[in-house]
Structure formats: C-alpha cells, structure tokens
Chains A and B, each alone.
Chain A
Amino acid sequence: MKCSRWIPFVAALLAGVGLWSAEAGAQGTIKIAYTDPLSGPFAQVGDQNLQQFKYIIDWINGRGGALGKKFELVAFDNKSQPSDALLALKSATDQNMPIIMQCSGSNIAAALIEAVDKHNERNPDNRIIYVNCGAVATELTNEKCSYWHYRMDAHVGMKAETMVHALPKDVTKVYLLNQDYLFGQSVQRDVKTYLTKLRPDVKVVGDELIPLGKVKDFSPYITKIKASGAQALITGNWGPDMTLLIKAGMDSGLDIRYYTMYAHLGGGATAIGPAGNGKVRSVMAFHENIAVETGKTDTEGWTKQFRDQHKFDFYAAGFRTIFEFLQAAINKAGSTDPAKIAAALEGLTITDMLGYQVTMRKDDHQILSEYFVGVFTKGVKYDSEGTGLGWKTEVTVPAKDLAQPTTCKMKRPG
C-alpha cells in the first residue's frame, strides 16, 4: 500500500493541471475557423476576404472583443473543393472551435450544412456553428435550412428581386448568363421568377450557363448577346468568369446595361476600365461612397484607413456586421458555448456601420439588412483600383422590402 501515499499528491497535481487549462481557456481567444479557396483559380476571392477579416478583427478586438476575449481567425484553404472544406471542419471541431465560417461556393456550403448537422447531433458536447459569409444559393435557408447555419448575406432570391426592381422601364429584353453550378442555376431560376412576377413585360432573349472557371475567351458570348438584341445582361458570375466576361464586352463595344452581383469585388474595376463608365451595375451590401452619400463620417474614416493600406476597395461591410453580431451574441449569452451563442443569435437585431437595423431572422437564420444597387461611374469621391471611376448608389432597398417568405421548417435541438 505504499503507493496510496501518492494518490492525494497525484490527484492534487491533476486538479492543478485541470485548473490551469481551464484558466488558459478563459484567458484564451475565441477561435473561428475560416475556410475558402486560398489557392487555385479563385484564390483572389479568398485572399481578399481574409485581408478584410483581419482588418475587422483587429478593430473589434480593439473594442474589447467579446467577454474580454479576443477573436482569432484560423484560415484553412479548401481549394474550392467541398472535400477540403470538410477537412477544415474536422480540424475545427478537433480543436473545439465554436464557429466555422465559409464564404464562396454554395455547393461547398451545402456540404458543410449537412456535415455540421451530423456532427452536432452526434457530439452534443462539442458543437459548432456554421456562419455563412457569402454562399448565397436561395435553397440554403429554405429547403436545406439548418439550425446551426446562419447566413450573413442576402440570398440570390433577394439579390434577384433587387436587380429586377432596378431594371428601368424601357428595358424589355434581357440576357441571362450564369455559371453552371448550384449558385449560377439559382440566379437563373430566381431572376426568371421575379421577372415573371414583377416585370411581365420583360422578355428573356437569352439564357446561358457556362462551365465554372473554364472559359478563356468570352467574345463569342458577347457576339451572341449582341445578336439577341438584349438591352441588359444579367449575370451572377464571379472571379475570372466575371472579369473576363465584362472585359470582352467592353472591348467589343457591347453598349448595354450590365447587371452583376460581384463586379464591385476586387479585380472588377480593373477589368471594366474607363470604357465602362455608367454601364455596369452591381447589387451590393456596401461600397466606399455610401458613407459619403449618407454622411457617415466615422464609417468613411474607417474604410479610408483600409483603403490606405490595401490595393483594393473595402467591400465587406457584411463581414463587419458578422463580427458585431458575434460580439453581441456572445456577450448576451455570457458564454462561448456554441449552443448558447446560437440561441442568442436567433432573432438578434443590431445597428450596422451604416446606421441601419439588421436582423437575424429566427425562422430561417437569414440575415435581413439593407441592400444597394450601385453604378460604376466617374465623379465619385473614392474611385476603385486607381481607375478614376467608382461606385455610386442608384437604388437603396431597406431591409423590410428585402424580406422574402421562407419555406424553412427549422428543426431546433431538443
């Protein structure tokens, strides 16, 4: 029985280690996994997101983080592959991170929603929240909705409705060109739905799907659009598929209205160039001149500081809203336990950097915020990427007008 003497000692030691690690947990950071393409053809998208997240996190940590802890972003490259995104999820749950974030690729988002659901059901003591910062296929908060999925960007249906509202009365012939995958098909379907509903006089003269990231020369498409007699082109294309399309259109002198969802992202302005003055419009959550137009000088100063440090525009107002939401939810929950954060997020309303009320709708976890249609033009205070042209607001849609009914039947954990 010699060793019995050791038992209290060992127990005390173990307790000490336990205490120490618990303390380290309390003092530690709130780790957020972030997965997006950081290599491959769409790397520029993930990289710009990352730089803006870093800027936002520094700012929010400077304002106390949440519960006295700082936010920390841990980036995982998913190479635009769902399988790699699932590996990132596995690493995140292995390290007990409370939140995983993903922005680009609705196909990846669909895979993540399913995997997060399964994981949380099987591991009630190690749950994770999926914050969707930009995968916008409409079904993700409808048929495919999940309690653990919080979408912090307007979905395609909302963007499509905004776009259709912004079509002037004299435009009666439109051409749709989208990428052939979950998101592009979603744009195609929703734009047509809202055209039938709101503008039955508009005719769809062309409806095209292109392979994602494969087309190098868009001139043949431009020829087709031109021949169709369309007055407006509507596209959800992003990355090289967007820049190459618009560049080809500008070069061929295709003088119609371009309605896009992502031309305001980095690289867009460079591709459009001075020739695009007044032709290209984008449905967006933010551009740097909104703060100027609405006289929000503090926000203007904040984005100006980003502008001085980076080569592209700050476009991710939605990302700042995400962190303000997380800050508010964690403070409200008084804990970093994912289940408690999730409960606190539901139905939460905050005021965003432009002074609008933003709500996380309880029914389907879809964010409801204001949205804008901007036109790329001369004569604005902040130009984009040194082109001399920048974005100017044409239409402002308040959050209440953007709210669409949902078919989501949310299953809440019991």
Chain B
Amino acid sequence: MEVLLVSLLNGLVYGMLLFMLASGLTLIFSMMGVLNFAHASVYMLGAYFAYDVSRHVGFWPALVLAPILCGILGALIEMYGLRRVHKNGHIAELLFTFGLAFIIEKAVQMIWGLLPVPYRVPAALDHTLFHVYGTNFPAYRGFMLLISGLMFLGIWLMLTRTRMGLVIQAALTHPEMVGALGHNVPRVFTTVFSGGCALAGLAGVIGGNYLVTEPSMAFTMGPIVFVVVVFGGLGSLAGCFIASLIMGYVQTFAVVLEYSPADALAALGITVTSATPLSEFLTIPLPRIGALLPFVMLIVILLFKPRGLMGTRDT
C-alpha cells in the first residue's frame, strides 16, 4: 500500500516531466513532420540558462526568461536553418537537427564544463509539502505538477480558443489546405517551432534542478521522449499526455514490481526450471529490464497501431 501510493506519485511526477518535454516535440513533429533530434538539447539549454539566470537574478525570473531564450533560439533555428533545409525534404531536416544536437552538446560542454552545475531548487520551495508513510513529498515536486498542469491547460486553451490555435490545428491535419487559404504557413511553422522550443526550455528549468544539470542530460532524455511522441500518436496533444503518463508509470512500476515472466507462468500452473527452454530469459526480474520496456512498447504499437494511441493521421 505504502509503495503503491508513493509509486503513484513518483510516476505522476516523472510522467508530467516527460509530458512537458514531449508536448513541444509532438506539436513540431505533427506540424512539420520533423522528428526534432535537438529537442532534448533545447531542454538541456533551458536548464543551463535557468542556472545562469538564477545565479544573478533568482529562480523566478529564470522561470520566465530561460524559456523565452529557448524560444528565440528555436525561432532562429527555424528561420535560418530548417527553412533552408526544408527544400531538400524531411530526411535533410532530420539530419540537420541530428547534427545540431551534437553541436549543442559540445557547446554546453565548452561553456559550462563537463561537471554537473550546482543548479538548486529555490529556497522558497525547498521544503516538504507532506509525508506519505514517512517518505517526503518535496514542495518542488508539487510545483512541477502545478506548472505542467498549467502548461497542459494553457496549450489546450491556446489551440482550441484562439485564432492562431485554430490555424495551427488546421495545419496539423491539413497543412496544404491552410496554405491554400492564404495563411502565412512559414510564420505558423516558425511560431510552432519556437513555441515548442520554449516548452522544452520550460521543462529544462523545471527538470534541471529536479534531476541533475549536466551535459549528458539531453542524451539520456532524448530517446524516451521520441517514444512518447510516437506512442501517443501524431497530431494529438491528448495522446501525448496519456502516453507520457503511461511511460512514467511503466518505468516507475517496472522498478517496484519484483516479478519475472516466470512468475506469470507460475500463476498459470507452469513451473520454470533451469531445464525449461529460454529459462535465462524467463527468470529475469522486471527491474532489470525496466528501462527497456518503453522501447518494447514502441515496437509493439508501431506493429499493431502505427498511428499511435490517438493519432489522427499517418506520418
């Protein structure tokens, strides 16, 4: 019971962090068809910007300034990089962002060094919100949930209640038609890319001091975010949200549940011994393969439901 409750909270916090990262990516991916490999790198930049800004003027201005900086960077990347590459098709765009990810990582290493930077939770949030059976639930995690919840609400309202949002939504599903109706599609693209990067930056501000701010943070976070986006389905914010929570919970519970496939078979009345074929594989406990599970799920969904959970169109 105790473990269940704490794990539910842990999974929620991690899932929401994934959502903050993935929501920007899913917008960009849906709209431009580009799997932005540099997305997690922008997340990392958000954390480093926040660290630098918070050293001088404090955490709260950083919460606003760092995402804005990331948004500006995103706009520049789109206008002077992606737009030129776009002519040569999606593969060129993909490779462009792939290269960019490496350049950003190296730049971060050169500017801030290879060691983790001491980016800490602000003093105002550095206390315990409540206890669950003796485990602290830090106020900062509550704050993370609040910010990500507000973000979900904000994006959803923006997409459904504003003119800009309607154009973006239309461009998600029918990009050619939107262009034909006379909307400035390149500007919409820039806005979405810049907005997506700002969201990644915000995730960095929040995630950088929740986890550790260091040059490998993009590298470790990148693959899982792609899984979320593809799993959730193209063009669906709700799908992305659900996929994030599923991934958060899968990874959390995979650690906590000390079972192996053999235990499942035992429940069916089959006993696995060392003589059983594949016994090495069947007796691996879940925690040891937990980090692999999202990728297994990615493959399964691509095989059986290629549009993802709630995807509205093909890639």
What is the interface of chain A, defined by CB distance below 8 A to chain B? 40-44, 47-48, 180, 208-211, 213-217, 219-224, 226-227, 240, 243-244, 247, 251-254, 266-267, 270-271, 273, 311-312, 385-387
Contacts and interface: CB of A to CB of B under 8 A. Distances in A.
A371 B114 CA distance: 28
Contact of A41 (B3, B136, B216, B251): B216
A219 B10 contact: yes
B79 interface: no
A271 B116 contact: yes
A120 B251 CA distance: 47
Interface string B208-230: 00111011100111001000000
A180 B216 CA distance: 19
Given A44-B114, A253-B128, A267-B115, A219 B14 contact: yes
B269 interface: no
The 10 closest A-B pairs by CB, nearest first: A253-B136, A220-B255, A41-B216, A44-B114, A214-B291, A219-B10, A220-B252, A47-B114, A267-B116, A223-B6
A43 B212 contact: no
B214 A267 contact: yes
A216 B2 contact: no
Contact of B7 (A48, A216, A220): A220
B1 to A, nearest CB: 10
Of A210, A220, A227, chain B has the most CB atoms within 10 Å of the CB of A220
Contacts of B256: 220, 223-224
Contacts of A244: 211-212
A226 B134 contact: yes
State the majority secondary structure of interface residues on B: helix
Interface string B282-299: 000001100110000000
Given A43-B215, A223-B7, A251-B136, A243 B288 contact: no
Contact of B212 (A48, A243, A266, A385): A243
A297 B14 CA distance: 48
B21 to A, nearest CB: 11
A213 B221 CA distance: 11
B117 interface: yes
A221 B134 contact: no
A253 B221 contact: no
A271 B7 contact: no
Interface string B161-202: 000000000000000000000000000000000000000000
Nearest to A44: B114
Given A44-B215, A224-B255, A226-B6, 17 more contacts: A41-B216, A43-B109, A43-B216, A47-B114, A209-B287, A216-B221, A216-B224, A217-B251, A220-B251, A220-B256, A223-B3, A223-B7, A223-B10, A243-B116, A251-B141, A252-B136, A271-B212
A281 B74 CA distance: 43
A233 to B, nearest CB: 15
B13 interface: yes
B120 interface: yes
17 contacts: A41-B220, A210-B287, A213-B220, A214-B220, A216-B220, A220-B253, A220-B256, A223-B135, A226-B134, A227-B2, A240-B212, A240-B220, A243-B212, A251-B138, A270-B117, A273-B120, A385-B115
A215 B252 CA distance: 11
Contacts of A273: 118, 120
A217 B135 CA distance: 16
B114 A43 contact: yes
